[in-house]
Amino acid sequence: MTDVSGSLMTEHGRHLSILDRAATWVAWALAGTIFLTVGWFAMAPDDPLGAVSVLTRRGAWMMLLQAAGLAAVTAALATVIAGRRLPDVGTFAAAVGLAMVSLRGGTAGSLLIQWADAAPVSQSSLPIQFALEAIAWFVIVFIARGFSIGVGLWCFGEGSGHAEGEPHSPRGGATHGVKHMLIAAGAALLTFKILSAGLSTRSVQHGQACFVVAASVCIGSYVAYWLVPVRSALWAILSVPFLAVGGYVWARLSPSPGGLPASVPASAFLRVLPIQYIAVGTAAAVAMFWYLYHPVFESANQSHLSSSHASPEGRG
């Protein structure tokens, strides 16, 4: 996806205008600015070289509350700027902001070094603690999405891009969506395992970790959309915590090879921080939905179905 915005379709089936594209870039730049300034002050680890995690900061609950507030404000502002034409732009902006602030801190390897002197029981519980933290970050992203939808409806009404994802047809139903979510999560887990196969002895890098998560979610979303297409990015977003928690549980149950440096995790799933799983994964899920979903095709298909079920008198 070299130019996602060039493939985005509005609810009316037209490409985004130059002004609309400019608005989206302004929204995303604003998200990065907010999180790299105020967000870093609120979420920075106690150790200047530490990773952005609740495990590296005193007052973890206050950190999460502040992050939730910033995510909600960022999502609302992005929706006001670009939400009329682009659904879930607020969710995407909040996820991008969280991902950017995570890049300013250390990697998962630096966190593992801090835990190297911990008791074996504490080390073995680390994947479970990561899984719980991932759920907390996802709650924050979901709160941001709620604010984004609310502000979109308040500012633009039911005809805005945020109302587009509601289940107006069987393709938008919950059963269909759950199938999409499970397929996307399963395909993402498998893709993550394949892409990270050659990283077991390498040091952890932010770029590698984020790329593997983004690629896994994109491929998982593509497979799910091909098999079970949906009308909302919600179901792809919901697959992201399944990837994170499933990966950490997999790491907990897998045997730990010995002889690795403290900075190299025993499992590839531990190479990604919880905040990066959720933030990068959510941004990738939304971007992939923008790339794949074309309402104009669905509108044409619904018109065709309506004409095919018309009365004989109306068919000529």
Which ranges in the chain belong to alpha helices (H)? Answer: 4-7, 18-34, 40-43, 60-82, 89-104, 108-114, 120-124, 126-156, 174-195, 206-227, 234-253, 274-292, 295-308, 312-315
- For residue 106, what is the DSSP state? B
**pTM attached to this predicted model:** 0.83
**pLDDT tens per residue, range 115-158:** 766 545 445 688 999 999 999 999 999 999 999 999 988 887 75
Output the pLDDT for position 256: 65
Maximum C-alpha span of the chain: 81
**pLDDT tens per residue, range 72-105:** 999 999 999 987 778 899 999 999 999 999 999 9
